[in-house]
Amino acid sequence: MTLRSRFESGEHLTAPGVFDPFSARIAETAGFDVLYMTGYGVNATLLGEPDAAFASYAEMVERLRAISMVTDASIVADGDTGFGGLANVARAVAGYEMAGAEAIQLEDQEFPKRCGHTKNRRVIPADEMAKKIEVAVDSRASDDFLIVARTDALSGHGIDEALERADAYLTAGADVLFVESPESVDEMRMICERFPGTPLVANMVAGGRTPMPADAELYAMGFQLVIHPIYLLGAMFDGVTAAAAGLKSGQEDPVADIHALNTLLGFESIWALDEKYQS
């Protein structure tokens, strides 16, 4: 079942943020069949840098390809600003689709972008973003590949302009709308009331600008896709920080042993191949 058909059927979806094949395997094993490839997480784990457009298109699409090779889950992939102008957007859409995503998220920030829950975000004119959406729609090979249009206008320009931009992006052909960082439950409800029947994204970030109702409450408001882009990354940070401190102090806690890791990574299939062809 495609992601488009799941949206059209009214299904409610929760997607954890994944940033490499390892985190994707863990999330899928936990039962998630929709994953969100987070630009924040890719910048952090690939480069050790903040989510400020350091990861290039080539690095992002290669990470996407690596993730898609180890999971059958649907992937919504962060495409930042499209990595440049209109030709770059066309290339990004084609590349993400070929690499295994079912949706690309494009945002209306100026380059270099900033994480949506940090400061100093600036947006391009709405008509420029609408053209990017039109190019994205025309560049996909299949209508089942979804264009997620994100606006970052709310924090600097207010809810009214953010809603007007989202409306323009929907008119330009976006399949899913993502109004980033509403700062109250009332604003979240305004978004849902403005776009009934349109798939909407809610972005849940601990310590971010947006309140964090439970996913079920967000679904009841009208959001259809709830993403948790840094939840697994935050868990990794906490776990690795504690483990490193324990190892350094000589008071290490028990952790997953090699057998659990081998099972997750599929070592059994390697051994089976060895035994079949090397006997």
Residue 162 within any structural domain of the chain: yes
Residue 20 within any structural domain of the chain: yes
Q: How many Å apart are CA 194 and CA 190, to the nearest integer?
A: 6
* Selection from 181, 130, 115, 176 nearest residue 153 by Cα: 181
Residue 249 within any structural domain of the chain: no
pLDDT tier at 114, thresholds 50, 70, 90: low
Given this model, what pLDDT does residue 263 score?
Answer: 93
pLDDT tier at 119, thresholds 50, 70, 90: low
pLDDT tier at 152, thresholds 50, 70, 90: very high
pLDDT tier at 110, thresholds 50, 70, 90: confident
Residue 210 within any structural domain of the chain: yes
Q: How many Å apart are CA 207 and CA 56, to the nearest integer?
A: 27
Q: How many domains does the chain have?
A: 1
Given this model, what pLDDT does residue 179 score?
Answer: 97
Give the CA diameter of the chain: 69
Residue 40 within any structural domain of the chain: yes
Given this model, what pLDDT does residue 135 score?
Answer: 98
**Residue numbers of the domain that contains 11:** 3-229
Q: pLDDT per residue over 5-36, tens digit each?
A: 999 999 999 999 999 999 999 999 999 999 99
Q: Kindly compute the dihedral angle of the four CA atoms of residues 176, 226, 37, 173, in this order, to the nearest 10 degrees.
A: 0
Report yes or no: 173 and 106 within 8 Å, Cβ to Cβ.
Answer: no
Q: How many Å apart are CA 60 and CA 43, to the nearest integer?
A: 9
- CATH code, domain with 78: 3.20.20.60
Q: pLDDT per residue over 198-253, tens digit each?
A: 999 999 999 988 999 999 999 999 999 999 999 999 999 999 999 999 999 988 88
* Selection from 87, 153, 90, 84 nearest residue 121 by Cα: 153
Residue 240 within any structural domain of the chain: no
Given this model, what pLDDT does residue 120 score?
Answer: 66
Q: How many Å apart are CA 142 and CA 146, to the nearest integer?
A: 9
User: What's the mean pLDDT when you consider all of the chain?
Assistant: 94
Report yes or no: 147 and 134 within 8 Å, Cβ to Cβ.
Answer: no
For 78-92, 110-124, 168-182, which range has the lowest pLDDT when averaged over its residues? 110-124
Give the global pTM: 0.94
pLDDT tier at 117, thresholds 50, 70, 90: low
Name the residue with higher pLDDT: 32 or 156: 32
Residue 148 within any structural domain of the chain: yes
Residue 134 within any structural domain of the chain: yes
- In DSSP terms, 104 is beta-bridged to 77, 147
